[in-house]
């Protein structure tokens, strides 16, 4: 069997290539260039050239043919243009997910097949297995053998999330040689084989673009425009009909009557789950999350679920001006009247450059705790912020995936209208899997989390898994 390995110059794809060669496959390597413009990258214009040089040395060391392909046109059309469009609409896209669906397992696969490849391999930390029936035979649907895709065995490096939009046709052609290894094991194999990439640091930033300053990158197409930064006070939620609706609706579907937990306890995904202490959490009696009654969820109307899933709208916070006289000369000036629900605390250069949960780059002082973006309004060019990790605007309990955006990796697992299923869900890479109930309705797939989730933005991909680690499906929020 002839296998094309996507060789990036990193240690993961290098070890994947080595393992394939050792297993007796007819292997060749292909390095793809997907980006030319280095204006927004933080490492200068030679980063991809260095990666290519290392990749070529790795191929030479292993003893496999090496090819180069330029897919920058396809990447710009299918990934970068999508990014610009999503940010301009106030959504937060994931270009790496699109890169795998549209480039690595589409345009790159097509190029590899022209060179005679039967399969394409990558250095992703995930596993692929055949779907077997009760007799141990591979399941075939519509003439196509079915495959399962599972988390990688290394919980710190699992990359199945980035492959959440692949279909069965793409999986049939895919190989993931290092999915059963941990990162330390991969490093050890690379050192033992004296591979040139053995000590190379993991790549960061946008897939095949590199680490970038995102606002600078987006300003290539999206024009800066000054607007207000509005801080939202806690009083807003006490008077918000939509927030009150969410509290009452979630309360109505609890197994045990009471007040639902509405705020997520902060936990750093990059520090082993270290969380803060001595902080009062709303719904603290349910600190382990909300236990919902599936039968009560069935009684909710489609319209109720859709309203529950919507992010809060802060457009009702208005600011009126008043004139006053200042100083000995009584100079007439204008100021905003005090508003119990919020305050204009600064200026920004474009709502499209900010994402939910962001705290860097706001340049807002005078607060005891950190300030976070809780909402963006690209139409009126306003960003809304809140103070502290437990600000109510950072948490959401329910999200919706539109019918057009629902993607099932296996057709046999597709949910029918009215069905409720318990799954584990993540909405970003490296996020620990979260317990949730999925309910399918004619107006979409709704995900109700046991614990409120922090910093969710429309446009992100929600990915759901079974209890044994199989990735089942995904969709853009």
What mean pLDDT do residues 290-297 have?
A: 97
What mean pLDDT do residues 211-236 have?
A: 82
Provide the pLDDT confidence category of residue 363 given band limits of 50, 70 and 90.
confident
How far, in Å, CA of 48 to CA of 38, rounded? 10
How far, in Å, CA of 375 to CA of 313, rounded? 8
What mean pLDDT do residues 36-58 have?
A: 71
Q: Per-residue pLDDT tens for 124-144? A: 999 999 999 999 999 999 889
Q: Which domains does the chain have, with CATH numbers?
A: 2-218 (3.40.50.620)
Out of 148-162, 170-184, 324-338, 387-401, least confident range: 324-338
380 to each of 267, 275, 314, 377, 384, how far by Cα in Å? Answer: 32, 35, 11, 6, 12
Q: Per-residue pLDDT tens for 364-384? A: 988 999 999 999 999 999 999
Provide the pLDDT confidence category of residue 217 given band limits of 50, 70 and 90.
confident
Q: Which pLDDT does position 278 carry in this prediction?
A: 40
Does 48 have pLDDT greater than 90?
no
pTM of the predicted model as reported, rounded to 2 decimal places: 0.90
Higher pLDDT among residues 445 and 9, named by residue: 445
User: Coil, strand or helix: which one is 449?
Assistant: strand
Q: Which pLDDT does position 264 carry in this prediction?
A: 85
Which residues are known catalytic residues? Answer: 99, 207
Q: Which pLDDT does position 218 carry in this prediction?
A: 74
How far, in Å, CA of 20 to CA of 28, rounded? 10
CB proximity list for 247: less than 8 A, separation 6 or greater: 259, 260, 262
Helix (H) or strand (E) run with residue 296 in it: helix 294-298
Q: Which pLDDT does position 313 carry in this prediction?
A: 95
Does 266 have pLDDT greater than 80?
no
Are 427 and 415 a contacting pair, CB within 8 Å?
no
CB proximity list for 428: less than 8 A, separation 6 or greater: 161, 269, 460
Does 283 have pLDDT greater than 80?
no
Residues in the chain: 477
């Amino acid at each position: 069997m002839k296998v094309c390995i996507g060789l990036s110059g990193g240690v993961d794809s290098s070890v994947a290539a080595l393992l394939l060669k050792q297993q007796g496959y007819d292997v060749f390597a292909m390095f793809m260039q997907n980006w030319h413009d280095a204006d927004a990258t933080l490492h200068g214009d030679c980063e991809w050239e260095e990666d290519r040089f290392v990749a070529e040395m790795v191929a030479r060391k292993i003893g496999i043919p090496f090819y180069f392909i330029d897919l920058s046109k396809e990447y710009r059309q299918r990934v970068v243009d999508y990014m610009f469009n999503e940010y301009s609409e106030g959504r937060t896209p994931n270009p790496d997910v699109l890169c795998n669906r549209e480039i690595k397992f589409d345009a790159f696969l097509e190029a590899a097949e022209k060179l005679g490849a039967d399969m394409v391999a990558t250095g992703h930390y995930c596993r692929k297995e055949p779907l077997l029936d009760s007799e141990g035979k591979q399941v075939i649907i519509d003439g196509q053998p079915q495959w399962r895709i599972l988390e990688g065995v290394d919980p710190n490096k699992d990359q199945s999330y980035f492959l959440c939009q692949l279909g069965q046709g793409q999986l049939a052609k895919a190989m993931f040689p290092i999915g059963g290894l941990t990162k330390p094991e991969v490093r050890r194999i690379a050192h033992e084989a004296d591979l040139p990439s053995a000590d190379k640091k993991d790549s960061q930033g946008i897939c095949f673009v590199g680490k970038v300053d995102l606002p600078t990158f987006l300003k290539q197409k999206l024009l800066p425009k000054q607007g207000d930064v509005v801080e939202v006070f806690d009083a807003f939620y006490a008077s918000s009909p939509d927030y009150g609706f969410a509290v009452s609706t979630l309360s109505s579907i609890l197994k045990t009557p009471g007040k639902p937990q509405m705020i997520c306890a902060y936990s750093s995904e990059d520090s082993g789950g270290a969380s803060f202490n001595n902080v009062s959490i709303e719904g603290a009696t349910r600190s382990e999350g909300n236990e919902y009654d599936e039968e009560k969820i069935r009684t909710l109307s489609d319209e109720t679920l859709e309203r529950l899933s919507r992010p809060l709208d802060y457009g009702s916070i208005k600011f009126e001006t008043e004139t006053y006289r200042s100083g000995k000369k009584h100079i007439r000036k204008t100021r905003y009247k005090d508003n119990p629900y919020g305050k204009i605390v600064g200026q920004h250069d474009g709502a499209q450059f900010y994402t939910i949960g962001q705290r860097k780059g706001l340049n807002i002082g005078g607060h005891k705790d950190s300030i976070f973006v809780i909402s963006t309004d690209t139409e009126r060019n306003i960003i809304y912020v809140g103070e502290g990790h437990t600000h109510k605007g950072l948490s959401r309990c329910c999200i919706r995936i539109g019918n057009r955006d629902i993607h099932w990796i296996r057709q046999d697992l597709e949910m029918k209208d009215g069905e409720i299923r318990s799954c584990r869900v993540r909405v970003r890479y490296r996020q620990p899997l979260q317990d949730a109930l999925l309910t399918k309705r004619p107006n979409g797939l709704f995900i109700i989390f046991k614990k409120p989730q922090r910093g969710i933005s429309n446009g992100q991909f929600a990915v759901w898994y079974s209890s044994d680690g199989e990735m089942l499906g995904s969709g853009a929020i």
